[in-house]
Amino acid sequence: MSQTVLVTGSSGKIGRAVVAELQRRGHEVRGFDRVASPAFPSTLIGNLGDRVALEHAMAGVRCLVHLAATPDDADFMTELLPNNVVGLYHILEAARVAGVRRIVLASSGQVNWWQQLGGDLPVFEHQPVSPRGWYAATKMFLEAAGRGYSEQHGISVIATRLGWCPRPGQEEEIRALEWAHDVYLSPNDAGRFFACCVEAPDTVKFLIVNGTSKPARQTRLDMTVARTVLGYEPAEQWPQGM
């Protein structure tokens, strides 16, 4: 069934892939970002802190895919707090008021960072978290807020713990880190993964789910939930799609 989907962060690395896959599947996609994207000229330009702009973007939307954020560790007070904490508050409230039925949130594999590097593998979604730093802590806040919206407001919420989809400038870093090839997330797989979240059955009330491509050597983030609940099957493996 075709849905009206709002994708925040639609001009970013993952956002562009998600928009392309959702459009390919026939969904009506609306983009929201603070910067324009030549690939998606109709993107609504605005900031997560601008509630009026968010309410305008949210009108008539059934599913929100919330990707806009500071995507890694950065200064807490000037970057993470306004974008990942206050911005999350505004987007969730705007979605609730607009009657959005499903919210897909971008969390991160950095919430269980230390287990991935040193613990028993693979890491499952139900295990206690071990955040890498303040960025990961904002993603734990996001997961917890999403859980609350599901319980309190009856909105279906899916929090996605993503592997690594390298942004421009990160190519050499990921190439040099063998373990990272196990959590690589290609743009094509990211598009498919988020489309599966959008199209997941209405019976999904709240879900935390890992998302990667096929591991190169060893499974670090378990993918059983993605496969069984979302029907997501990774198609690519490091370095495909780089």
Ligand X SMILES: NC(=O)c1ccc[n+]([C@@H]2O[C@H](COP(=O)([O-])OP(=O)(O)OC[C@H]3O[C@@H](n4cnc5c(N)ncnc54)[C@H](O)[C@@H]3O)[C@@H](O)[C@H]2O)c1
Name the site residues for ligand X (rule: CB under 6 A).
9, 11-15, 33-35, 47-48, 67-69, 71, 83, 87, 106, 108, 162, 164-165, 167
The first and second tokens of residue 190, run together, are 């990211």
Cβ 5 to ligand X, closest distance in Å? Answer: 15
Cβ 161 to ligand X, closest distance in Å? Answer: 8
How far does CA 104 lie from the centroid of its chain?
Answer: 7
Query: Is the peptide bond between 166 and the residue preceding it cis, with omega within 30 degrees of 0?
Result: no
Cβ 1 to ligand X, closest distance in Å? Answer: 25
Nearer to ligand X, 87 or 234 (CB): 87
- Asked if 221 and 109 count as a contact pair (C-beta separation under 8 A), the reply is yes
Nearer to ligand X, 167 or 205 (CB): 167
Nearer to ligand X, 67 or 208 (CB): 67
Got the DSSP string for 136-179? HHHHHHHHHHHHHHHHHH--EEEEEEE-B-PPTT-HHHHHH-GG
Nearer to ligand X, 34 or 101 (CB): 34
- Asked if 32 and 10 count as a contact pair (C-beta separation under 8 A), the reply is yes
Cβ 171 to ligand X, closest distance in Å? Answer: 12
